[in-house]
Amino acid sequence: MTEVKHTIIDEIGLIEISNPPVNAISASVRKGLLNSINELGANNLIKAIVIAAPGRTFLAGADIKEFGKNVDGPILSEVCDKIEVLDKVVVASLHGTPLGGGLEVAMSAHYRIAAPKTKVGLPEVLLGILPGAGGTQRLPRLCGVSMALDMMLTGRHVNIDEAFKNGIIDEIAEDDDTVKNGISYARRLLKRNSDVRPTSEISDKIDNLDEIKKTIEKIKSETLIKAKNLFSPHAIIKSVEEGLNLSFPNAIDNERRLFKECIESPQRQGLIHSFFAERAITKVPELELGKPKELKKIGVIGGGTMGTGISMAAMNAGFSVVMIEQNDEAIEKALTKINATYDRNVKLGRISSEQKNQIMSLFTAVTNMDNLIDRELVIEAVFENMEIKKQVFAKLNTICSKECILASNTSYLDVNEIASVVENPSRVIGLHFFSPANIMKLLEIVVADKTSDDTVATAFLLAKRMKKVPVRSGVCDGFIGNRVLSKYLIGTYHMVEDGASPFHIDTVLRNFGCAMGVFQVIDLAGGDIGWATRKRKAPFRHKDDRYVEIADRVCENGWFGQKTSKGYYLYGDGIKPLTANPEINIICENERQRVGIKPKSFSDQEILDKYIAAMVFEGVKILQEKIAIRPSDIDVVYTNGYGFPRWRGGPMKYADMVGLDKILLNIQKFSEEDPRFWSPPELLIDLVKNNKNFDSLN
């Protein structure tokens, strides 16, 4: 329950805010805070005011749920201004994560004390907005323009030592007792006769305008490259830059105007959707029932790209790892790769060599699978072939303890079938890591028919320890991510055979905000992988399915992308990034001629429409079949594992923003030409009929 109360202790007024779980600044918090400030401010017996928010954290920012809605009550900016102009010393006592509006409240106080593990930040940029309660004006006054812009453009959480060193915090407390810390600091300030100290009047860090101008110009040009598609980073810089030449009240008005522009931007909707979507992923039925097991010892089978990546992800999280490879040569190769990765991290200063040694001490690589006997979880990452995987699992069934969880890192195969060779299939699960597994955040947790709730709960706990973004998926060919990928890849090749150039398609997707175009991704992953999948699926393909052979022709040349220095693009020393392979266009033309297609031209919009329609089409199917629990889970998979722009919220959110009626119309139009591929899914028809969107299913 939200509560803002104030009490008087001697000559100090104490305001305590409570709005669990993170003390977000909702309308009622703002109202309560303003009320307390007014009352305490008018009380002549009071000489100082302390603002604290006992509980998990000091105010973690504005209540994000209120954005875009009409809510009553004072705006935070007004509350902050009122705090700053009080004629009594105001202390903010911080702990936890005072972020966004929370730090803005703290900066409008005259002094700040913080508990030892406090982290502060203005992460609004990650939500597509800017600090709209004076943050763009007060932070530069406390720590200087360069650091303030760095904080606001990255949204990073700054630890207490750095915050103290740079003037954001005045004192570091000895413990976490935020009320006691605030009161004792206020007493000390009164004893020292410390005066009120409005942040708006501090100017020593912003008076060297020539130097600051240069700094801003540099940051501006870097941001143009780093955040070229984004709106709010540029608004943040603008607010700081323009504010320097305005009176403080005018600068605050200007910040407010820019804040409103951000709030109205669709990027804000997309980013805030991503924020909540990433918090919804752990709301899965098995977690309510299952009991997670704390793991310490992990086994990894296979020392290839995935096996080494998974091993490093596990070691980084402090697990001991036994890796199994077939022979000494393969072990040597895996070890070299792992060593090289950590050496690079040491060289870049990310870890010390002691840390590297400590991490490597967690690792053993052997050929004998009997060494897995004491493992609590074994993750199989061998070649993507059902027979091989079944052999491995049958062996694990005899070697590992009965409690050991057996996981497959398969990216497409049927986990139920893999589990069928294990006596107790309730301990079998899919853990689909993404490459490079030590870096990529996404982890699909694939729940098979007989997987137990405890096994699922343990997998989610593992993901948490590995700092992964876990998304629950049911079993189907390719799970959530690769199944959607298969659909739009096929749709993309249809477009190419119909006349679109792969390079045009990639450009459209990059301009849309995707990290890479489809054909760049194929080159990165290796064309041979998709080729093997197509061969595996060939016997099951319906004779009337449209099958485009362009990709096979490319692979038949041995052009698998980056690993062979040639694919849709050319790679190698002296070749500029993204140099198109000119022979691709010839292959496309030959194939069109062979099948008798007269090429037509595609506009950017036509390419985008088909790409999105294919993604949404398969996303809906996945929901219909209950492979994904909710549309936002599909969004999380795509924004965390497939380079879909986070600021567009993910494919399902983007479809909501475009309008499901429009998406359905497109699918209906495409299905006139190819009903086998595009027959509109029931759920989508229902949603449109009932005037609902995907968000209504979240």
Q: Binding residues for ligand CAA, per CB under 6 A?
A: 21-22, 24, 60-65, 76, 97, 99-101, 104, 123-124, 127, 129, 131-133, 135, 276, 279
Of residues 445 and 476, the one with the C-beta less far from ligand CAA: 445
Q: Is 416 exposed, middle or buried (0-12, 13-18, 19+ CB in 10 A)?
A: middle
Q: Tokens 């003037």 sit at which residue?
A: 167
Of 16, 84, 124, 376, the active-site residue reads: 124
The Cα 223–Cα 249 span in angstroms is: 27
Of residues 29 and 312, the one with the C-beta less far from ligand CAA: 29
Q: Residue 159 CB, nearest distance to ligand CAA (Å)?
A: 13
Helix H segments across 448-564? 453-465, 479-498, 502-512, 518-525, 527-537, 550-556
The Cα 498–Cα 479 span in angstroms is: 29
Of residues 270 and 307, the one with the C-beta less far from ligand CAA: 270
Q: Let me know if 3 is a catalytic residue.
A: no
DSSP 244: T
Peptide bond into 645 cis (omega under 30): no
Of residues 275 and 571, the one with the C-beta less far from ligand CAA: 275
Of residues 143 and 362, the one with the C-beta less far from ligand CAA: 143
Q: Residue 104 CB, nearest distance to ligand CAA (Å)?
A: 6
Tell me the two tokens of residue 18. Answer: 């409570």
The residues that bridge with 569 in the sheet, in sequence order, are 580
The Cα 671–Cα 673 span in angstroms is: 5
Q: Residue 62 CB, nearest distance to ligand CAA (Å)?
A: 3
Q: Residue 680 CB, nearest distance to ligand CAA (Å)?
A: 33
Note whether 75 and 117 are within 8 A (CB). no
Q: Residue 447 CB, nearest distance to ligand CAA (Å)?
A: 21
Kind of pairing, strands 48-52 and 12-18?
parallel
Of residues 311 and 639, the one with the C-beta less far from ligand CAA: 639
Q: Residue 124 CB, nearest distance to ligand CAA (Å)?
A: 5
Q: Where are the beta strands (DSSP E) in 225-357?
A: 297-301, 320-324
Q: Specify the 3-state DSSP secondary structure of 6.
A: strand
Of residues 21 and 596, the one with the C-beta less far from ligand CAA: 21
Q: Residue 73 CB, nearest distance to ligand CAA (Å)?
A: 13
Q: Let me know if 124 is a catalytic residue.
A: yes
Helix 248-264 and helix 76-84: axis angle, to 10°?
160
Residue 581's φ and ψ, nearest 5 degrees, are -80, 110
User: Long-range contact list for 249-254, CB < 8 A, 24+ apart?
Assistant: 251/137, 252/77, 252/81, 252/134, 252/137
Tell me the two tokens of residue 77. Answer: 């900016």
How many helices and strands, by DSSP H and E, does the chain display?
Answer: 30, 18
Of residues 41 and 101, the one with the C-beta less far from ligand CAA: 101
SS3 content of the chain, % helix, strand, coil (to 5): 55, 10, 35
Q: Residue 91: CB partners within 8 Å, gap ≥ 6?
A: 48, 49, 50, 51, 109, 110, 111, 112, 113, 182, 185, 186, 189
The Cα 448–Cα 408 span in angstroms is: 11
Q: Residue 285 CB, nearest distance to ligand CAA (Å)?
A: 16
Of residues 65 and 214, the one with the C-beta less far from ligand CAA: 65
Of residues 21 and 577, the one with the C-beta less far from ligand CAA: 21
Of 104, 255, 380, 384, the active-site residue reads: 104
Helix H segments across 300-370? 305-316, 328-347, 353-360
Of residues 178 and 492, the one with the C-beta less far from ligand CAA: 178
Tell me the two tokens of residue 483. Answer: 């199944």
Q: Which of 210, 222, 221, 254 is nearest to 235 (CA)?
A: 254
Q: Specify the 3-state DSSP secondary structure of 516.
A: coil
Q: Residue 244 CB, nearest distance to ligand CAA (Å)?
A: 19
The residues that bridge with 366 in the sheet, in sequence order, are 324
Q: Residue 240 CB, nearest distance to ligand CAA (Å)?
A: 14
User: Long-range contact list for 394-401, CB < 8 A, 24+ apart?
Assistant: 394/421, 394/422, 395/369, 396/301, 396/369, 396/372, 396/422, 397/421, 397/422, 397/423, 399/369, 399/370, 399/372, 399/373, 400/299, 400/372, 400/373, 400/375, 401/373, 401/374, 401/375, 401/376
Q: Residue 96 CB, nearest distance to ligand CAA (Å)?
A: 8
Q: How many residues does the chain have?
A: 698
Active site residues: 104, 124
